[in-house]
Structure formats: C-alpha cells, structure tokens
Amino acid sequence: MVTTPFDTSFSFAREAGAVAADLGSDPVRGLAPDEAERRLARHGPNELRRQKPRSALEILRHQFVSVIVWLLLAAAGLSMLLGDHAEALAIGVVLLINGAIGFFTELRAARSMEALRHLAEVRTRVRRGGSERAIAARGLVPGDLVILEAGDIVTADIRVTAASNLQADESALTGESVPVLKDVDAVARDAALGDRTSMAFKGTAITQGAGEGLVVGTGMQTEIGRIADLAQSASGEAAPLERRLDLLGRRLVWLTFALAAVTIGAGILRGQDVVRMIETGIALAVAAVPEGLPVVATLSLARGMWRMSRRNALITRLSSVETLGATTVILTDKTGTLTENRMSAVRYLLDDTTVEVAKGTDGRSFTVDSRIIGPLADARLAWALRIGALCNNAGLGDGSHDDRTGDPMEAALLSVARDAGVARADLLDLHPERVEHAFDPDSKMMATVHERGGAHLFAVKGAPEAVLERCTQVLSQDGPRALDARQREDWAHRGALAARDGLRLLALAFRDDDDARADPYRDLVLVGLVCLLDPIRDGVPEAIAESRRAGVRVVMMTGDHAATAQTIARRAGLADDDPRVIEGTRLVGLDPVTVGDDLRDEILAADVFARVAPETKLTLVALFQRAGHVVAVTGDGVNDAPALRKADIGIAMGLRGTQVAQEAAHMVLRDDAFSTIIEAMRQGRVIFGNIRKFVVYLMSCNVSEVLVVGIAVGIGLPAPLLPLQILFLNLVTDVFPAFALGLGTGDAQVMMKPPRDPSEAIVERRHWLRIGLAGAAITVATLLAFTLALFWLELDAAASVTVAFLTLATAQLWNVFNVRDPAAGLVRNDVTANPYVWGAIALCLGLLGLALWVPSLAGILGLPWPGRAGLVTALGAGVLPLVMGQIWLAAHGRRRRLRGG
C-alpha cells in the first residue's frame, strides 16, 4: 500500500499548517512541478481500482457449477465407457444447450452493465510552483494545492486550508442530502465522516463558495477508495435458488447411487447377467436424474431476466431473478432512492398562519387550513417568496434537477418562487442587486441589497435563531408591527416543532434603508420561516404499501440525522405509527454473531437506522441474514456499495447511481424507480412458483421411470424401458411441457401473499407426496399396459417395450395438468390457461409420432411397431393417471376449502 509520510486518516484533526509541513508542501505556492512528477511516479495515478469485469470464461464456468450438471457429466462419462455413445452424446448436447443459454444471457447483462458506465476525464485546477494550471485529475498527488469553486467535483481527499462560504454536497458518500459547510479548523479525531468539516472528499461536489486545500489522499487511499475496496472485498451470499437446486442435486446423487447399487446387487444375487444388471443400473440412474431440469430452470430464469429488462430492471446474474421473489426485507437508503435528493419548500410559517406547499402534476398548491390560496394574494407569503428569490446565488438552468446549480436550499427557494409566478430575473429587473453580503458561518446569515425606488431593499435569510435575534418587527396582515419577547419565544417554539419533524428551516427578513452600505443585519422585519424537505419520490409510498401487503418489510438506512430520517420514513409509509429509529452510533463495533438477544430483537424490529456508516450497513445486512431473512439492499451512493455486495440481492440506481454502487449490485434500475423493485419482486415470485411446478412435474415423471424399471426387474419381468428411451423421454417429451409451465404468468394474487420461508425447499413434504402419488399412478398404468402386451396381447418383448414406452410418454404428457393448484378449477386454472402448455403437448405428440413411424429413429430407440391393439392399449392406459390425479386434486381441494371455512 502506498502511503503519505504521515497518517492521512487524521489530517482533519490536525492544523492545516502542520499538515502542509508533514506533506512537504507550500500552502500558498503548492508543490514544485518536478516534485509533483516524482510523487506521481511513487504514488501512482489518482484513480479508483475498478472491479475487474466478469470475463467470458468466468461466466461460462459459472454455468457448470451445479451438482445436477456434475451428475449428468458423470452419467455421460459412464455411458461412454460402456460403449453407449448415443446416450453420452445426448447428455452432452443437453449440457451444451443449458450452458449456452445461461452464458449468452449473463454475457448480455454484463455488456449492458458496461454500457451504463460512461467514464469521462475530469480536470482540476491546482497551483504548482505558484502558478495555476488545469491538469487531469488522475495526475493529482499528495501535497498538491487544489483550488475549489462552486460547481467543481472534488477529485481527491483534500485538507481545506482556505474557505469562503465553501459548501459541499456529500450525499453520495454519507447519505446526507444537505450540503456541509467547510472551514479550515481542525475537528476531533473521533468525528464521524459527515462531521469532518475541514475535509473535502473525492467524489463530492462543491455547491457554493470557494476555497483551497492540500491533497492528502489519492486513488484507493481516499475515503471513496476505502469504501470501494470494502465493497469489492465484501463476500456475497449464494443465491437462494442456487442453494436450493444444489440441495436437490445432492439428494438426487445419493438417490441415484442407492437405486443403482441396490438394483445391481439384487440382480447379481438372483443370478442375473452382470452386464445386463449394470445396464439396468445405468437406466435407473438416467431415470432418476431430471436431465431437463437445468435447461428448463435456465430458460425460465432467462425469460424472467429479459422480462425484467423490458421493465427497466437490469439483472446481472440469472439466479438473482428468483432471489427477489424470496426477499423478506428490503434495506433501502434514503437519498436518491426514497427521496429525490433535492430540497423542496413544503411549508411557510407566517405571522398568524401556516401555509402548506404541495407539488402535484399541475404544479404547486398553496393551502391554509386545507383551503387553496393564491400565493401572491397574501402579502406576507408574497414577500417571503420575493426575499427567497432575491437573497440567492443558485440557478435553475432549464428547470431539471440535473441542471440546477448552487446550494440545494437556495435552488428550492427559486423553484417555489418560480412556480408561484415570482421569477428572479424579473425581480432583478425591477430591483437590481447592488451589494451582496455572502453567507457568514459566524453570523449564519446572508444578505443582498437591491434598488427600490429612491431607497434600498435589504433581503436577508439565515438560521432562525440568528435572524430572530436581529429582528425588531414582524410582518403582519396590516404591515410591520413590533416584535416583543413573548412573540420571539412563540416563533422559536414554532421553529422547534418544525425541526422535530425533520424539516430544515430558514428565516426570511427585510429592511428598507437609504444607505446601501449600512449594516444589513439590524432592525430587520421578520417575514416568516420557510421549511424545506428532501421530497419523497413519486410512487414510493404506493410501492412501499404494496411491499407491505406482500409481507416484505422496508427498512431505511441513512447517514442523515434521526429526526429527518424519521420524518421521511413517516411520509414514505414505512410504518403505521411513528417509525422506530435506532442511531448508528449504537451499532458501531457490533458483532452480528455475539450480539445479545434483546439488542438483536430491537434492531430487527427497527424501521429506520440513522447516521449509519458503510461498515454499519454491512453489519446490519449480516444481522438480518443470520436471522433467516433474504435481504435486498438498495442504494446509489458509494457508501452503499459494501452492503449492496453483501446482500442476497443488491439493487443500484442506474440514473443517479455511482459506478462503485453499480459494480457491487446484482440488479440495476434503469429508471431509479422504487416501484420497479416491486414489479421485479412479483416476477421473482411468479418464477419460483413456476420452477416449483415444473420440478414437481419433472420429478413425478422421473419417479415413474425409476419405479417402472425397478419393479419390473425386481419381479422378474424383462426391462420395460431402454436407457436411450428414458433419455428421449427426459430430454424431449418432458422438457417442453416443463418449459411451458416455466412460462406461466402466475397467480394474480401473488403479491397479496406473505413471502415464503427463506429456508423452504423447492420440493417440500407436501410436494413429495404429490410427486409420489403421480409417479405411482403413472407406474401402475405403464406396468399394466406392459403386462397386458406381454401376456394378453402376446406381443414379443421388443413390441411390449414399445407399448410401455408409449404408455409412459402419454401418461407423462397428461400429467402436466396434475400440477395445478388444488383450489383452482378443473377446467379453468393456471395450467389450462397457459397457451404454451397446449403448444408443448402438440409438439410432443408430434415427436412421439416421429419416434414411432420414422424407421431410422424407431430403430435407434428400439421401438418396433406394436400393432393397432398395442397402440390402443398404450393410449388408453396413458389417460388413467390424469383421471386419478384429477380425482385426488378435487378431494384435496374440497378438504382445503372446508378447513378454510
């Protein structure tokens, strides 16, 4: 690690002169150019280490890290060793198809992520050898003297050495939406990041004023670099679907080995031919493994991924599609996600009334006691709007958020005045500005002086306590009147109540004077207090309400103060009553493993975590995960990146999100809309329901194949199915109905149900019961047809195998209708309403016809013509499992309705 000559972590706690001395830099002239070159060679360029994008080889390798895939590879290898090249080739083709689908889908997502990152060269102004110059930001070195002005992006960690009303927007780093005033004074060594007022941090923006400072950290040695490194080193959790499929795969491995070993051993003990028993064991192994499962799961997830992409949700890994459906808690940041990351005037406190300001689709409305008023009809409100627009250095540009310049609170005052019909340009035409008294951190006020007739208008704004102290009058309906001590207390009380609601307050005042150079802050007339708030983004309360109906908690993590965070949480609808808030200072150094039960329960029940650091967010994610939750984390700032990576599903903003946050996330929202998360959750739930349906379908088909072969061999009958025939069923006739189930649109009420238990397996006990019953019904039908063909129709063994094959194939096709919800109707349900199911059945019947009537294919599969009687027997027996299944579903559904009543 490259370091500066002293511990730069505490430069904010040292005097500026001492920092300059330790850096070997002149605080006035800066570094000599040749010294800057030497330091650049020693420290390296001022760049963040980009997370290495996933290579095509890594994406390809990820497609084959599955127990089921490994099991299929083993089966293919064993088939090759025994000379069954057709089986080995067929399994290989399945694995290639599955790998190709997953590879190209994830590669497409990775390339889309790259397209989101537009990296432009940033330049910064420095003083080297006493001369100012603009250099590429990557060329900054420790000790450089940087010049800062409003509108600049800070390109390194800088110890401020000179400041004039210098303010910085640090929301991307701390989550605090209000600019921080900077000065040269050292602060305490234990000051939180947001309280280090003597520092300007890389990646933040200067909103107002000017200043200078010495670079004390570049590249990965900055605060943003430290957080980026924390994000890249945070270990991500395996996706729930990956864990469940691996668990199912491990169980299938043991089942396969056990079935093969028992069958081979029993056959040899009964004197059967060893080679024939080994072939039978392979047939059982092939029957036990649902070869189509990886393909169908991958296709279903890929389609969900494409579907979400069309809805502005870019998923970077297939398994993350389903993870959203399993989410039980969303840990969200505030700034830019729940709120718009801009200030807005929401209330004016006037002499004897309060004016509420609301922004709607038709502009702003001004109301008093729920009665809409004209903003210029009330003289006091009109004065408040004018003063806010005159005493102002911000700019609105074209009116969009991205085009605003200057302090966000000043921009908010300009915006509300413009919407009320008070444009600053028009005011300045009437009252040209002659003098400006810049904001003074000591007096906490600002004033501008304007021509007004033959005199001058002093427009003043500032901290309420500072302005109130300088006011001798207050503006009433009838004009200015004296302001006494009791009224001052009343104003202070009103301001305190608004501040407790998390509102930011500015006092507005004015005075007329003949002398433009007079003291601007004496004998002022108080107009009122304007209350400002970072507004909730459109659609957020509705999206949170929908997530709560779906049983998913939304918890806010923010670097903002507790009162502000609680107000935002209340407005966003995070809780029915007052949101429960925990200060981040209580969580510093907390170990998720050893935390006490009482504190853990209190944390898990909280609605808001305020003043939290990036490390604390990581702790919270781990704590919720240890409690059994599937955790989604949303964020857009650098400070959110470690938690995004640690979460089960990290969700970054695509429009406002930082590069570091996007690289750490599993999903990127192209529209930054919280409602998109809810739609993605719905898709995830539908996808898991579809996956469960086709797993139950595939497993019931495979169980029937195992039972048919095992029971027939066990009672001394010839093998009713050949390994290649089983493989044909698993890869052709089973896959298409299963994939059709995976394309279902799902239950319309899916978001009205609570999330499933995170520990819940894909196949639970009740599903194994359905699998067993369906498999047994298909087995009975197939063995019945096989024995009828052998002993009643007196067909030879090969033709009888054809009858068994056709019975099993048609029974498995009709079995797709047995996976419907028992509570659904017999004729109209989510399976029969799925057009893909009918298409799959038609396709599979056509493929069966080809396998039976194309001589070359029939020869490869070992399917001689069974005669008309054999065909009728097979088709008739194939319908029996469907009838039995529907009878069971009707009885089961009736029991459920009775229990519900």
C-alpha to C-alpha distance for 339 and 725, rounded to whole angstroms:
60
Task: Compute the residue count for the chain.
Answer: 901
Strand partners, 125: 134
Give the amino acid at 802: T
Given 3-state DSSP classes, what are the helix, strand and coil percentages for the chain, each rounded to the nearest 5? 50, 20, 30
Q: What is the DSSP string of 168-221?
A: EE-HHHH---S-EE--S----TT--GGG-TTEE-TT-EEEEEEEEEEEEE-GGG
Q: Are 548 and 327 in contact (CB under 8 A)?
A: no
Of the residues 22, 152, 157, 333, which is catalytic? Answer: 333
Q: What is the DSSP letter of 13?
A: G
Identity of the amino acid at 746: G
Three-state DSSP string of 374-443: CCCCCHHHHHHHHHHHHCCCCECCCCCHHHCECCHHHHHHHHHHHHCCCCHHHHHHHCCEEEEEEEECCC
Phi/psi for 650 (5° steps) reads -95, 130
Q: Do 448 and 394 meet the contact criterion of CB atoms below 8 Å apart?
A: no
* Angular region, 528: left φ>0, alpha ψ -120 to 50, beta rest: left
DSSP 354: E
Strands 471-476 and 524-533: parallel
Which string of DSSP letters, residue by residue, matches 80-138?
HHTT-HHHHHHHHHHHHHHHHHHHHHHHHHHHHHHHH------EEEEEETTEEEEEEGG
- Which single residue is written with the structure tokens 């009252």? 431
Task: Return the H-helix or E-strand segment holding 160.
Answer: strand 157-169
CB 348 within 8 A of CB 373: no
Instruction: Determine contact, residues 719/588, Cβ cutoff 8 Å.
Output: no
Could you say which DSSP state residue 792 is in?
I
Chain centroid to Cα 795, Å, comes to 62
Residue with tokens 């924390």: 230
Say if residues 432 and 451 touch (Cβ distance below 8 Å). Answer: yes
Tokens of 268: 């040899």
Q: Please give the C-alpha separations between residue 211 and each of 159, 560, 702, in angstroms, as whole numbers.
A: 11, 25, 73
DSSP 528: E
**Residue with the two structure tokens 């979400």:** 308
Please count the CA atoms within 13 angstroms of the CA of 386 that sit on its side-chain side.
21
Q: Quick count: other Cβ atoms within 10 Å of Cβ 545?
A: 14
CA 668/CA 645 separation, integer angstroms: 13
Task: Name the residue type at position 603.
Answer: I
| Tokens 């600019």 -> residue | 179
Give the integer Cα–Cα distance in Å for 786 and 805.
Answer: 9
State the DSSP string of 557-618.
E-SS-HHHHHHHHHHHTSSSSSPPEEEGGGGTT--TTT--HHHHHHHHH-SEEES--HHHHH
157 in catalytic set? no
CA Rg value for the chain: 36
Single-letter residue type at 794 = E
The three-state secondary structure class of 672 is: coil
User: Is there a contact between 664 and 614 (Cβ–Cβ < 8 Å)?
Assistant: no
- Which residues carry out catalysis? 333
